[in-house]
Amino acid sequence: MNRRLLVQVVTAVVVLVFAVGIWSTGDTVHPGWLRFFSAAVLVATIVLGIWDRWLWGLPLIQRLSRVPRDVRGTWRGTLTSFWEDPVTRARPGPTTVFLVIRQSASQVTVVLLTEESSSRSSLASLSDEGTGASLTYMYLNRPDSRVEHRSRMHNGSAFLEISGRPATRIRGRYWTDRDSRGELDFDQRAPQIAEDFREASMLFAGG
């Protein structure tokens, strides 16, 4: 969540609770109104919890420029690798992959699912500078045991640009510590959160 926006929300809630307390007692001179401090903290905590889990994602709230872009769900797209076979110099063709994003107003986690592996984010962040939104993350790729002989576990990072509000497309590039890189492009989205490649495929089976 944007730090400035967080401070503004907390400040607004605390000031509002104090104002209501002072107005209800009609006493602005004696320190009795200080007893509303604990109530202000409690209300601010509750409001922030509601904001973080639910309120920020409402369509009306999403129109505000400082609110994090809602990209939750399972995205279907393609992965295009730039890796070349050292013998034939051929590149593998594009493959279908799924990007699973879990998100609150303050946190985001990313899982990339392929037929042979899953890549889970160890660090992820969303940014929206007004000129465009992006998703950046670092990940650990764990291949299925059946392909470990030719595809070892590795680390990588990705930078993806987000189009639309609400988001309609996510695309960008990835890099790995195996000196490989490629492109990712997602333009289909389901609101459900898939747990594996098979489940993700079923979400888009009718489309």
pLDDT at 1: 47
Q: What is the C-alpha to C-alpha distance for residues 71 and 75, in angstroms, rounded to an integer?
A: 9
Q: Are residues 85 and 140 in the same domain?
A: yes
More confident residue, 73 or 30: 73
Q: Are residues 118 and 86 in the same domain?
A: yes
Q: What is the C-alpha to C-alpha distance for residues 163 and 10, in angstroms, rounded to an integer?
A: 30
63 within a domain of the structure (yes/no): no
Q: What is the mean pLDDT of residues 150-168?
A: 92
Q: Are residues 134 and 169 in the same domain?
A: yes
Q: Are residues 48 and 79 in the same domain?
A: no
pLDDT digits (tens, 9 = 90+) for 175-199: 999 889 999 999 999 999 999 999 9
How many domains does the chain contain in total? 2
Q: What is the C-alpha to C-alpha distance for residues 87 and 196, in angstroms, rounded to an integer?
A: 33
61 within a domain of the structure (yes/no): no
Tokens of 46: 């509750």
The number of angstroms, rounded, from the C-alpha of 70 to the middle of its chain's C-alpha atoms is 7
27 within a domain of the structure (yes/no): yes
Q: What is the mean pLDDT of residues 78-102?
A: 91
127 within a domain of the structure (yes/no): yes
Q: Are residues 170 and 136 in the same domain?
A: yes
18 within a domain of the structure (yes/no): yes
**Which range (40-49, 79-88, 107-116, 187-196) has the least confidence?**
40-49
Per-residue b/e over 48-68, b at no fewer than 16 CB within 10 Å? beebeeebbbeeeeeeeeebb
> pLDDT at residue 18 above 70?
no
Tokens of 194: 């898939």
Whichever domain contains 118, its CATH number is 2.40.128
Q: Are residues 99 and 165 in the same domain?
A: yes
Q: Are residues 14 and 48 in the same domain?
A: yes
> pLDDT at residue 86 above 90?
no
Residues spanned by the domain of 22: 3-53
Q: Are 36 and 17 in contact (CB under 8 A)?
A: yes
Q: What is the mean pLDDT of residues 45-66?
A: 85
135 within a domain of the structure (yes/no): yes
62 within a domain of the structure (yes/no): no
Work out the number of other CB atoms within 10 angstroms of the CB of residue 4. Answer: 9
186 within a domain of the structure (yes/no): yes
pLDDT at 31: 53
Q: What is the mean pLDDT of residues 94-112?
A: 96
> pLDDT at residue 38 above 90?
no
Model pTM score: 0.82
Q: What is the mean pLDDT of residues 159-167?
A: 93
Select from 110, 120, 44, 105 the least CA-distant residue to 74.
110
> pLDDT at residue 25 above 70?
no
Q: Are residues 107 and 196 in the same domain?
A: yes
> Mean pLDDT of all residues in the chain?
85
